[in-house]
Structures are given as C-alpha cells and as structure tokens.
C-alpha cells in the first residue's frame, strides 16, 4: 500500500518455529551444519534444507561449504541485532520455549571432526601452534612453518607419507562448540591418529566424543599447552 522496505518477508522467515529454532541455535555465534540445525529445529534434513535455502537467499544466513558439510552461520551483526531484539521483546512478554535436558558436555571438550580433533581441546591446540609460530597464515591459506615441521617430526608424525598426498596439509576448520577455528587437513588428521596411538586419548564408540585419559590430558597440555 505504501512505499518502504518490505518487513513482512524477512519477519515471516524468522517467524516460523523451525527456522526460529535454527536461528537461536546460531545466535551462539557458532557455525552449524545443515543436519545439526535440522536436529535443533526438530525437523527432517529435507525440511531443514528448504528453510536454510530460504534464509540464505535473503542474506540472513551465510553458507560455507566444507567437505561434504554445509556450515551455516548468522550473516552479520545487523541480523544478530534484530534477532537479539526479538529475543528481548519475547522475553519481556514471557514467551519462552520448553527446555530440554543438558547437552553432552563431553562433545564440547573434545570430539572428532571428520578425522581430526575438535572442541575445546582442538581450539586450544590450534591457538598454541599458531602462537608458537608453528603455523602461519597467508591470506586464506594456512602453512606449517619449518619450526612446526621439526616440532611435529619430534612428536612422531611421519611426514614422508603426508608429503606425498595432494590434499592440503593444514586447513582451518570452523568449530561449533567454540566459535574459533581448529586444525584440519592431513596434519590435523595425523595428530589425532598419533594421540590415539600414544594412548593419550580414544574415540568413544557411541558418539563423536574423544575421551582423554588423565595421563593423556596432562601430556597433551604439557606438550601443546
């Protein structure tokens, strides 16, 4: 009827329960995969896919392809602000969602991400390596420095095998439990393998959790912390 921006389209998108659940999950700042978001929303992956497509289309979300996963995240500060504002309004009126049981904390501390270490431990590792100058960034690429090469050779990584592979040695991987990055790529995989080989940690059979032994955790912190 009048001129002006069309609020309805955007608000209607946020207004669907499934999508709203996804958005609140993403408000943590983490990037989540389509399947994870489907679980958060309580719908099947097909349905989630449609929702995510629509939200990406109007630039509410940002899509990031990584291997066979699609990571979705809140597009920018402006979107986050609006959602936060809506939360404020809802809160004031006493509109709250039903809560479920607490999430598995083990997954947040350490878990496998494809084949490498993720979670708090993974992020901590990444930060330490970067700080010590074992990793260096040039643009989008992540590189293992000579010092880093020596360090990991000492740690027991077999570079003779790794160097032959065509896939990248180091890659940055978005971590969903922390909002930071952790180390992916061939090196990331090799590190996790070595951690298990050393009996510092083991894969949980039922989940993606990585269980550190007491000795293993101490050694990990001693080595990388």
Residue 3: contacted member of DNA, a second copy, none (CB under 5 to 8 Å, by partner type): a second copy
d(CA 165, CA 213): 31
Pairing mode of beta strands 181-184, 141-144 = unpaired
Q: Quick one: which segment of 95-103, 111-119, 131-139, 150-158 binds a second copy (CB under 8 A)?
A: 95-103
Q: Is 215 in the site for a second copy (CB under 8 A)?
A: no
Q: What are the structure tokens assigned to 27, written together?
A: 């408000």
Q: Which is nearer to a second copy, 36 or 175 (CB)?
A: 36
Q: Which is nearer to a second copy, 97 or 165 (CB)?
A: 97
Residue 170 C-alpha from the chain's centroid: 16
Q: Which is nearer to a second copy, 88 or 225 (CB)?
A: 88
Q: How far is the CB of 211 from a second copy (least distance, A)?
A: 26
Q: Is 92 in the site for a second copy (CB under 8 A)?
A: yes
Tell the residue number behind the tokens 């986050």, with chain if given: 80
Q: Which helix (H) or strand (E) holds 112?
A: strand 111-113
Q: Which is nearer to DNA, 90 or 218 (CB)?
A: 90
Which SS3 state, helix, strand or coil, does residue 185 take?
helix
Q: Which of 87, 128, 196, 198 binds a second copy (CB under 8 A)?
A: 87
Q: What are the structure tokens assigned to 78, written together?
A: 């402006």
Q: What are the structure tokens assigned to 21, written together?
A: 């659940």
Q: How far is the CB of 219 from DNA (least distance, A)?
A: 25
Q: Is 62 in the site for a second copy (CB under 8 A)?
A: no
With contacts defined by CB under 8 A, how many residues of the chain interact with a second copy?
A: 49
Question: Contact 207/107 with Cβ under 8 angstroms?
Answer: yes
DSSP string, 121-165: HHHHHHHHHHHTTSEEEETTEEEE-HHHHHHHHHHT--HHHHTT-
Q: Is 35 in the site for a second copy (CB under 8 A)?
A: no
Name the residues that contact DNA, by CB under 7 A.
12, 16-18, 33-36, 41, 43-54, 63, 67-70, 114-115
Binding characters for a second copy, 7-26, by CB under 8 A (x = yes): xxxxxxxxxxx-xxx-xxx-
d(CA 3, CA 66): 41
Q: Which is nearer to a second copy, 12 or 161 (CB)?
A: 12
């Amino acid at each position: 009827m009048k001129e002006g921006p069309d609020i309805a389209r955007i608000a209607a998108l946020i207004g669907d329960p499934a999508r709203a659940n996804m958005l609140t999950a993403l408000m943590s700042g983490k990037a989540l995969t389509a399947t994870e978001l489907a679980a958060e929303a309580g719908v099947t992956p097909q349905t989630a896919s449609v929702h995510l497509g629509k939200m990406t289309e109007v630039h509410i979300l940002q899509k990031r392809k990584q291997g066979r996963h699609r990571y979705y995240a809140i597009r920018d500060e402006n979107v986050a602000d609006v959602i936060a504002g809506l939360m404020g309004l809802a809160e004031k009126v006493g509109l709250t969602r039903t809560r479920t049981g607490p999430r598995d904390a083990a997954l947040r501390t350490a878990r496998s991400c494809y084949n490498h270490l993720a979670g708090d431990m993974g992020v901590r590792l990444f930060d330490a390596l970067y700080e010590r100058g074992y990793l260096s960034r040039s643009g989008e690429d992540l590189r293992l420095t000579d010092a880093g090469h020596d360090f990991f050779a000492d740690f027991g990584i077999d570079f003779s095998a790794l160097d032959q592979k065509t896939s990248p040695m180091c890659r940055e991987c978005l971590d969903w439990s922390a909002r930071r990055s952790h180390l992916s790529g061939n090196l990331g995989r090799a590190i996790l393998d070595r951690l298990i080989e050393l009996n510092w940690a083991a894969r949980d059979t039922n989940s993606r959790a990585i269980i550190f032994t007491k000795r293993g955790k101490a050694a990990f912190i001693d080595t990388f912390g």
